[in-house]
Structure 1
Amino acid sequence: MTDFNARHAVGDAFWAYKGLRGENPIACVLRTPAELLSGHTPVAWLDGVSGCIALTHLEPRLVAEGAALKSTAQGAADHG
């Protein structure tokens, strides 16, 4: 949780997964620093999502989008 807060600031963009990670991502923005919920689960509160989301179900949007763009560009280079 401390590492998450050191890397991410309030206002950073994320994909949140309410169910299985990788399925039905929700675009959202970090509203608070991460905190420990009920003494055991690191979570964050985000605009665009009701309730909090476990840190394990968050993915920074720029990282995810950058990886997709890199993959697309590499595929184009391979076929070009």
Structure 2
Amino acid sequence: MTTKERIELIDKAIDDVLNNLQNGIEIKEYWIDNLKVEKRSPLELITELRKIRTLTIKDAQKQKAKFKTYIFGDRY
């Protein structure tokens, strides 16, 4: 699963929790990519999902930064 797909799943999970909360249904646990997130309240669950999303983005940026190209004097 790519980073973009993981981020989309996390965004969908946050949307699901919020939509169900508006309907009076409290979701306190969620499974994403074989990862179970369980909290005492839906707001804690949303906070944890946002943390996971942030960490996923940071990890992806670190992986991209493994290679750097320097150009000196307009020559390759």
Question: TM-score, normalised to structure 1's length?
Answer: 0.32
* TM-score, scaled relative to structure 2: 0.34
